[in-house]
């Protein structure tokens, strides 16, 4: 059976590792890489969409990153227990008209014993921002280790 370490039950260190792994995967903007960390029957709530299953997640992500251009994300551990992790996040992106946004949210994750995410519930709000107000300026891809966290940025 497929495993995705770290696996539950989580410690503070392994929960932080899981959150950073998720952030890195999402910053790749690779729907196959991201979808691969979810169970085949994963259940999601993302804004007003409710994808069920890894293939539905992959399709959702393809649509998302076709619309949300120059996507850069920071996730931060909020809480953890046993096989669950709560995170807060912010990401910046622009639409095809050049309008910039910062999206803020919280996610609740539940993992199976092999470390695959079986449930993901996200609440997200979008804030239009001026390009000069952007805070996430690293090259597309993984956030550099020395880049400020959400807490450091006051977000």
Q: What rounded mean pLDDT belongs to the chain? A: 97
**Cα distance between residue 116 and residue 25, in whole Å:** 14
Q: Domain coordinates of the chain in residue numbers?
A: 12-133
End-to-end CA distance of the chain: 39
DSSP at 52: B
Class (C level, CATH) for 12-133: alpha beta
**Cα distance between residue 109 and residue 6, in whole Å:** 14
**Cα distance between residue 16 and residue 87, in whole Å:** 10
pLDDT confidence of residue 136: 98
Q: Is the pLDDT of residue 1 over 90?
A: no
pLDDT digits (tens, 9 = 90+) for 114-151: 999 999 999 999 999 999 999 999 999 999 999 999 99
Q: Give the residue from 3, 28, 19, 155 showing the smallest Cα distance to 86.
A: 19
pLDDT digits (tens, 9 = 90+) for 8-28: 999 999 999 999 999 999 999
Task: Tokens for 13, please give them.
Answer: 């260190």
Helices within 29-128 (DSSP H only): 31-35, 54-67
């Amino acid at each position: 059976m497929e495993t995705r370490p770290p696996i539950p039950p989580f410690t503070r260190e392994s929960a932080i590792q899981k959150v950073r792994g998720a952030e890195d995967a999402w910053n790749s903007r690779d729907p196959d890489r991201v979808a691969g960390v979810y169970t085949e029957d994963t259940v999601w709530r993302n804004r007003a969409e409710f994808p069920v299953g890894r293939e539905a997640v992959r399709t959702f992500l393809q649509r998302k990153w076709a619309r949300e251009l120059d996507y850069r994300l920071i996730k931060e551990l909020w809480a953890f227990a046993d096989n669950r992790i709560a995170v807060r996040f912010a990401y910046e992106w622009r639409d095809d008209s050049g309008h910039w946004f910062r999206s803020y949210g919280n996610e609740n994750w539940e993992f199976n014993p092999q470390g695959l995410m079986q449930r993901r519930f996200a609440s997200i709000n979008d804030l239009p921002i001026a390009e000069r107000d952007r805070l996430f300026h690293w090259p597309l891809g993984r956030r550099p280790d020395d880049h400020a966290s959400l807490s450091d940025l006051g977000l």
